[in-house]
């Protein structure tokens, strides 16, 4: 999995992962996995869904749904600003 993370983002990604783990966010609970996946989607939008699913522990279908939800929210925010 390390090889799939772009070199320029590895340190940031692992620091993020370690911080989240230390805060007790990764405990196998869906809510926490969703929180981790949301954070990763926002911070690293170019990452593939399967990579985010592997790191967060969230089901890939839920990661895809979460990505879609975040995109819709962003689109709505952009429409409100216009």
Q: Both tokens of residue 17?
A: 């992962």
Q: Distance (Å, rounded) from C-alpha 51 to C-alpha 22? A: 20
**Cβ atoms 1, 54 nearer than 8 A:** yes
Q: Which domain holds residue 15?
A: 2-81
Residue 82 has what pLDDT? 67
Q: Which of 69, 68, 50 is nearest to 1 (CA)?
A: 50
Q: Distance (Å, rounded) from C-alpha 58 to C-alpha 81? A: 32
Span 23-47, mean pLDDT?
79
- Please check the confidence at residue 20 and state whether its pLDDT lies above 80: no
- Please check the confidence at residue 1 and state whether its pLDDT lies above 90: no
Span 57-64, mean pLDDT?
91
| Total of domains in the chain | 1
- Please check the confidence at residue 16 and state whether its pLDDT lies above 80: no
* DSSP per-residue letters across 26-55: -SS-HHHHHHHHHHHHHH-TTS-HHHHHHH
Q: Both tokens of residue 32?
A: 């926490």
- Please check the confidence at residue 27 and state whether its pLDDT lies above 60: no
- Please check the confidence at residue 28 and state whether its pLDDT lies above 70: no
- Please check the confidence at residue 25 and state whether its pLDDT lies above 80: no
């Amino acid at each position: 999995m390390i090889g799939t993370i772009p070199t320029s983002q590895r340190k940031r990604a692992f620091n993020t992962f370690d911080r989240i783990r230390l805060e007790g966010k990764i405990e196998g609970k869906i809510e926490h996995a969703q929180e981790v996946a949301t954070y990763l989607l926002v911070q690293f939008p170019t990452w593939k869904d399967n990579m985010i699913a592997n790191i967060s522990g969230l089901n890939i279908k839920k990661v895809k749904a979460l990505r879609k939800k975040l995109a819709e929210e962003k689109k709505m925010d952009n429409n409100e600003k216009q």
